Every structure is written in C-alpha cells, then in structure tokens.
C-alpha cells in the first residue's frame, strides 16, 4: 500500500513530534510498519488477516518488547475509514 493509504503521511515529517520511519528492520527478524527509533515506538497497521493471527502477533509483540520497543496496533480499517481516530491512537502512545 502507498504511504497515504496506511496513514503514512500523518507519520511523516515529525507531524506528531517524533520522526517515524516506514518499513524498518527491527531486531534482525522483523519489519515494522512504522518505527520511531528515538522513543522506541512501533506502529503496526493491521489488516483483516490479523484477526486470525492473534497468537503469532502476540509472540512478535513480546519479542519486540524484550528488545525495548512499545508496539501499537492500529486496524487498517480504522486508518482507511477514520484516519483522525487512528492518529489519536498513535498520539496516545506518544
């Protein structure tokens, strides 16, 4: 998906006060949708498939937390239907 479709435009250019990078390798085995390395925050935009991946996603989040990251999961449907509400979720994590 292009950055705008996933809300990437709202995470660019320090619009939320921190710098996010898109599709960032983390911990040698993961690719984060968005990462703000300066505050060790990862934002994952989850599509419908993730409803069936709760176990694997929880294990991944645990590994990322062990590396010192906080993980925020935002439903892709929310990003597409109500981007301001999705941004509120990210702001709350900041």
CATH number at residue 86: 3.40.960.10
% of the chain residues with pLDDT over 70: 82
Structural domain for 71, as ranges: 3-93
DSSP tag of 77: H
Rounded to a whole number of angstroms, the distance between the first and last alpha carbons of the chain is 24
Rg (CA), the chain: 12
Domains: count for the chain: 1
Q: With left for phi above 0 and alpha for psi between -120 and 50, is residue 13 left, alpha or beta?
A: left
Quote the pLDDT of residue 83.
87
Mean pLDDT of all residues belonging to the chain: 84
| Tokens found for residue 59 | 């294990």
Quote the pLDDT of residue 13.
60
- pLDDT, one tens digit per residue, over 31-68 is 999 999 999 999 999 887 656 677 888 889 999 999 99
pLDDT bin (cut points 50, 70, 90) of residue 2 is very low
């Amino acid at each position: 998906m292009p950055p705008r479709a996933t809300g990437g435009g709202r995470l660019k250019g320090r619009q939320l006060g921190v710098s996010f990078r898109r599709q960032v390798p983390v911990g040698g085995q993961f690719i984060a949708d968005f990462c703000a390395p300066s505050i060790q925050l990862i934002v994952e935009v989850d599509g419908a498939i993730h409803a069936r991946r709760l176990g694997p996603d929880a294990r991944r989040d645990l590994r990322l937390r062990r590396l010192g990251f906080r993980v925020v999961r935002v439903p892709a449907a929310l990003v597409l239907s109500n981007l301001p509400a999705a941004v509120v979720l990210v702001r709350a994590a900041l």
